[in-house]
Amino acid sequence: MQAMASSTQTPAAAPATPPVAAKKPHSFTCHGITVSDDYAWLRDPGYPEVTDREVLAHLAAENAWFEARMEPHRPLVETLFREMRGRIKEADRSVPQKDGDWLYWIEFEEGAEYKKWWRRPVAAGDDGNADELMLDEVSLAEGKEYFRLGAMSVSRDGRLLAYAVDDNGSERFTARIKDLATGELLPDAIPGTLSALVWVAGDKGLVYSLANENWRTDNARLHWLGQDISSDIELYHEDDEGFRVGSALSANENWLIVGTSDHETSEVRLIPAADPLAAPILVRPRQKGVEYDVDVRQADGCDGTLFIHTNDTHENFRLATAPLDRPGEWTTLIAGSDAFYLTGFDLFRDFYVIEGRLAGLDRIEVRHYDDPACREPVTFPEASYSAGMGDNPEWAVDRLRLSYESMVSPATVYDYHLADRRLEVLKVQEIPSGYDASLYRTERLEIAARDGTAIPVSIVMRRDRESAGPLYLYGYGAYGIAIEPDFSTARLSLVDRGFAYAIAHIRGGDDLGRAWYKAGKLERRTNTFNDFVDVAKGLIERGYTAAGRIAISGGSAGGELMGAVINSDPHLFGAVAAHVPFVDVLATMLDESLPLTPGEWPEWGNPIEDRAAFELIRSYSPYDQVKALAYPPMLVTAGLNDPRVTYWEPAKWVARLREMKIDGNELLLKTNMGAGHGGKSGRFESLRETAEEFAFILWQLQAEQ
């Protein structure tokens, strides 16, 4: 007779040993080279649905091992979490910003994970009774393990709100439309969006892009309010699998701008916003390697002028103009420069603004249409900082909303008054538990890489820190993304325990301009990894830390960086945090069915067609280069629903590391089973994951306090 189950369940015993993934022989051949991959089975054949019991059981076993090993350190995690949370002003609101007849702002309530979006008629002045709650993320997220608000856009007449929600981390959003006058949701619902939501045709139409089955936005579509989505009209379709499509309005909101691009080539079309079915105007046909983006100025009495930000004559971009009726005739307004990297521009009725970096530091300049030679740079008080344009929705303004911070200065919101070139402080980030900037110092170093190139490094530490103490080194180095020397309340939990926190501005990012980016991609990709290692060695040589006392961290492409440097120089590092790491580079770049792969070939190379690219990628792909080495302690994270770095990349990597490594150091894998690339949602839940990372680092560097 079968025994009956007890009415009470005994908790499962903590695992005594780490899980060992089954080895199932598998191989593939490309360019006559055969590659073995015994852990390929960890990719569920039904992906993006993950239902394979063996795969799920293995991920669950890894999560159980993570929990078991972290259990003794939960008090430290909780201490760190309380510290980090104590530095966040829980009941907080943004500085209201005027857009037309309304003031808009967001608020967090005490204890809330998510925001509420508010507005008030400008005419109501300071009358709080006129406040209107537009969107309540707290209510929308209730009962959900994951919640993320994507695009949102208020119609020009202020009556309708279009917004998009992802509730599982897959980055496939469902767009809805809310009548702000009544609070009711319209029946219109558009699932599978991955784009901005753009109002056109007098607020009767909404332009958006759908993610196709491979999670690629190859379209721009028009939805007429009140019509079934099956009747939506495709305004543009992109045939190149490597390109992505996006839409926006011009600054004066008269033109719909439809752009398509990959990592090195772009093409733009203009459509009258009032008549979205009109024939598009092609600004200039795509030319491989030429990137450009466009905005439109139409002043009184003129037919219109295009402003074009492009790298066609200089890799650091120039700003050109063209008549609207002859959009391909580009005339230089601001020439490209080796010294100044022009990253973007914004048009306003009476002036325009350019943004860029000079010697790696952010720069904002106001320029005037009637006096091209006049430059008005906005000056900031520190030698190293991060600054940029804030939310500036209106066309006719006499002041600019700016953002500013540094590694020692909390985030600050300014209004820049153009008439007297004056910065007005509107809000400084409050730190309820207290913060004294005078206790900290920041430095910007240059450390020579092995080829002689000077690599910038930004560091923050306490003034009373002892030399050769523990150091946290962060890096990314890909896609031309610069890592700014910004402020972080979370990192204070390490800095106040004697750590220095350093950012290596390695090649592959565009911190020092477009040439800096190009020097870390394709056939020069290994510069990125060498730069990071050489920065670590340079910090040791200068007495900031010692070998084995460096904790390193990076995510996504930065996780690839982590994998590469521990294969080459494992002895340097005392702890590693690799978040959603892109480590199975070769197999991913060989699989053109994956969402990002075709669009990534300009970044990494196409190993399907190019044997040299195949061999280079294989030579540094962290998964393919795991060896019988003593690796440092490692914490690896993954997201089951991640469409950018699929969960099986970190899972396979950890499985191979467990098989090959010859040390007894910790190796932990945590997979978020209900989240994607960004980990858990919510402002506090995400902090808890940071607290886990920092606790792991303090544990491994024997610096628990």
> Strand pairing of 266-272 and 281-282?
antiparallel
Does 142 reside within a domain? no
- Flag whether 400 is in a domain: no
In this prediction, residue 466 carries a pLDDT of: 87
213 token code pair? 């089955």
Q: What's the N-to-C CA distance of the chain in angstroms?
A: 55
Q: Are the C-beta atoms of residues 672 and 680 closer than 8 Å to each other?
A: yes
Residue 510 lies in a domain: yes
Give the HSE-up count for residue 434: Cα atoms under 13 Å, Cβ half-sphere.
Answer: 4
What pTM, to 2 d.p., does this model score?
A: 0.91
Q: Are the beta carbons of 638 and 651 closer than 8 angstroms?
A: yes
d(CA 599, CA 240): 9
What is the Cα–Cα distance from 507 to 524, expressed in whole angstroms?
Answer: 9
Among candidates 667, 670, 665, 676, which has minimal Cα distance to 689? 670
Name the residue with tokens 């066609």: 312
Q: What are phi and psi of 453, to 5 degrees?
A: -70, 135
Low-confidence ranges of the chain (pLDDT < 50): 1-10
Q: How many domains does the chain divide into?
A: 1
Pick from 362, 378, 263: nearest CA to 311: 263
Has residue 686 been placed in a domain?
A: yes
d(CA 328, CA 268): 11
Task: Tell me whether residue 141 is in a domain.
Answer: no
What pLDDT was estimated at residue 594?
A: 87
What percentage of the chain's residues is helix, strand, coil (to nearest 5)?
20, 35, 45
Select from 584, 519, 677, 544 the least CA-distant residue to 171.
677
> What does the pLDDT look like over 669-697, one tens digit per residue?
999 987 666 666 678 888 999 999 999 99
Residues with catalytic function? 556, 642, 677
Q: Which two tokens stand for residue 356?
A: 């860029």
Dist CA 169 CA 680 (whole Å): 9
* Contact indicator for 671, 639 with CB cutoff of 8 Å: yes
Q: How far apart are CA 492 and CA 461, in angstroms?
A: 9
Q: Report if residue 380 sits inside a domain.
A: no
Say what the pLDDT of residue 641 is. Answer: 86
Length of the chain: 705
Q: Specify whether the CB–CB gap between 138 and 158 falls below 8 A.
A: no
**pLDDT on residue 596:** 81
**514 in a structural domain:** yes
- Which phi and psi angles does 350 have, rounded to 5°? -105, -5
Cβ contact 599:589 at 8 Å: no
Contact (CB, 8 A) for 21 and 42: yes
**DSSP summary character for residue 437:** G
pLDDT at 141: 93
- For residue 637, the model assigns a pLDDT of 97
Phi/psi at 303 (5° precision): -80, -15
Q: What is the CA radius of gyration of the chain?
A: 26
Asked if residue 403 belongs to a domain, the reply is no
Rounded distance, CA 49 to CA 639, Å?
13
Q: What is the pLDDT of residue 679?
A: 63
CATH code of 681's domain: 3.40.50.1820
3-class secondary structure for 133-185? EEEEHHHHHCCCCCCEEEEEEECCCCCEEEEEEECCCCCCEEEEEEECCCCCE
- Closest listed residue to residue 527, CA positions, set 505, 548, 555: 505
Domain containing 487 equals 27-85+434-700
Phi and psi, residue 622, nearest 5°? -55, -40
